[in-house]
Amino acid sequence: MATGSEKFPNMHPVEGFRLATACAGIKVTDRKDLVLMEIAGGSTAAAVFTQNKFCAAPVIIAKQHLQQAQPSYLLINTGNANAGTGDQGIADSLSCCQAVAGATGVNPNQVLPFSTGVIGEPLPTKTICDAVPKALQQLSDNGWKDAAEGILTTDTRPKGASVQWDINGSTVTVTGICKGSGMIKPNMATMLGYIATDASIDDELLHAALRKANGKSFNRITVDGDTSTNDAVLLVATGTSGVEIDESNFELFLAQLTDICVQLAQSIIRDGEGASKFITVNAEGANNAQEALSVAYAVAESPLVKTALTASDPNWGRILAAVGRADVADLDVSKIQISLNSVLIAENGARAASYTEEQGQQIMQAEDIVITIQLNRGQVNETLWTTDLSYEYVRINAEYRT
């Protein structure tokens, strides 16, 4: 199940960034499950990682390697998360980095490992290492779609976004892919994402751009409220376009990058496990971002709200109850207005006089639904995106390891 279009977008190549996909047989024979990405020399890279305290071995190693050197290769495997695997997991991640280094002549700390899949199982290191030479033979700057397919787990379709625009007569490209469907709750980002641009950006500005774009995209999505052990988003700037991003054009670059990140983040929600609805939650009129997000997440992560959405049941009382338990001091419920799409359903602490059940049922039949909570206590607005909670979500996760 998924919502929206299944069409994979046209992906503009990024000079200086090549991708390859191979079938290693990590969990299933003849499945694309290993992706290798090559980064040209002179590039800069920035990353954000999961805040889960039980972060996976590849997250630990990738963080360390990023502090030591600019990366030359990214190695991503599916089918096994290499999380909850202790010291052996660290050793296994390092072995995979060494396999890439040995085949390419770079230092092991110039390789960043990433894994996704089942938690708590030993990484099949030999299987992965044996497939590295095969992946190296497939490197191409047009390998985005295959790579997007190669990093999937419970996803039903690949996810990508790409844009080109002009800066002073030169074309700048930003292209990215991501994976994510379940165990989605922002606490940095909740997925794996790889974005490349051919612009030239120094390390400080690149990190600033990723943090800001991430804050308005991957940190605004939730499927089930669970933050993964393995999540990471990497942004690479190859500099091959000859266009330098500085203070004079940073905001333009940031706007394009943020748009790409929002597209990717929303594609995760549209492909959320068992999703039949794409839900936008707006919390408006808050005193600050924290209380706006508290209200929005209370609604977006309420199992009662989400199951009502699955049933297309306009049970607005569940939304009201979720808002009421949000962590907002001195919340005056008499000032709150709640709307479904453009229809006002609640005001003054009760059902709106103009609202009818027929209106609510008609709205709830839609695949895309906007829930707006107007707090009327300040000027801050926040938006996030979520899914409904269906029988299919339960089935997928009940049968995940079988």
Q: Which residues 6+ apart lie within 8 Å of 381 measured at CB? A: 282, 283, 284, 285, 286, 292
Distance from the Cα of residue 342 to its chain's centroid: 28
Find the angle CA(317)-CA(322)-CA(327) to the nearest 5 degrees. 150
- Using CA atoms, how far apart are residues 192 and 328, in angstroms rounded to an integer? 32
Q: Which residues 6+ apart lie within 8 Å of 216 measured at CB? A: 258, 261, 262
Check if the beta carbon of residue 355 is closer than 8 Å to that of residue 268.
no
Q: Which residues are catalytic?
A: 190
CA-based R_g, the chain, Å: 22
Pull the structure tokens for residue 69. 């050197």
